[in-house]
Structure 1
């Protein structure tokens, strides 16, 4: 439980750091913004599923992400994951969640595996975003877990 909580704390910190880097782009890295939107909306989908809500209305990929809506989504996700983690117990980590994905396919997955996926999915896309930032002559943001652990 402690490890998963720590991974999600890192996710929240890294989202803030990367959002700050994207804000500095002044709209010059739409690909970075689109990637950031994808994983922020994916985070939203997963927390909705964990809370028993449908996420089928969410579009995971678009080419027209905008900064203002992402700022709101990041803040909302941070609040929703924080609230969820406060209620979560060690005993419930292996509970199975039944949900329907964006294609309408039903799945059952443990809470532990969902939360691990959320953290790893974000890390994957943050690496992609940093590549795009570098290619756009914007300083990439250091968001590795070890840096987070040194700072906290």
Structure 2
């Protein structure tokens, strides 16, 4: 189980890194150009992804909803004007925090029961929450690809199969 969790999360890190690398090849204003989409800019899409990933790590660590909500509001204000390079570093540091959690966690199937004021209590486990983090990231990387196309640029392939091929190539 631990291997599956790590591989799933490592795909998320790989896909984000691949997208950051692609964005660095484009004109700098692409990061903050306003467009009609799910989020008004690519920057704000990444901010949303980062805040969500941070909240879910807090949930995995057992932090209460109210604490996570307050922290998310403060963090959003703090990072609202980050550059592409700063955001990439934030994601790298957060991925190290997740790796620390993975190293300490023994049982990814034990019940975790986060409480949400609107949705109630959810009995789940770490593996399912990591699947959600990765799925959420995949969804928004797709949004970013659509945003890039609106701006006249191509995206980059971040599908899971490309991750598997990339990992297969590294292991030869």
Shorter-chain TM-score above 0.5: yes
Return the offset for 1:41.
1.4
Runs of 4 or more, structure 1, over 6 Å off, are none
Tell me, yes or no, if structure 1 residue 73 matches structure 2 residue 90.
yes
User: Counterpart in 1 of 2:102?
Assistant: 85
User: Counterpart in 1 of 2:72?
Assistant: 58
Unmatched 5+ residue regions in structure 1?
none
Unmatched 5+ residue regions in structure 2?
33-40, 168-172
What SS class does the counterpart of residue 55 from structure 1 fall into? helix
Structure having the higher Rg: 2
Return the offset for 1:106.
5.3
Aligned residue-pair number: 148
Select the residue among 115, 137, 160 that pairs with 1:145: 160
- Deviation per residue, 1:26-53 (Å, 9 max, x gap): 1224322211221121111111121123
Distance in 2 separating the partners of 1:149 and 1:73: 25
Distance in 1 separating the partners of 2:156 and 2:76: 23
Contact 2:56 2:129 in 1 (8 A): yes
Return the offset for 1:138.
2.3
User: Counterpart in 1 of 2:16?
Assistant: 15
Residue 122 and residue 128 in structure 1: after superposition, are their counterparts in 2 closer, same or farther (change >3 A)?
Answer: same
Return the offset for 1:69.
4.2
Distance in 2 separating the partners of 1:4 and 1:97: 15
Residue 10 and residue 43 in structure 1: after superposition, are their counterparts in 2 closer, same or farther (change >3 A)?
Answer: same
Residue 100 and residue 25 in structure 1: after superposition, are their counterparts in 2 closer, same or farther (change >3 A)?
Answer: farther
User: Counterpart in 1 of 2:121?
Assistant: 107
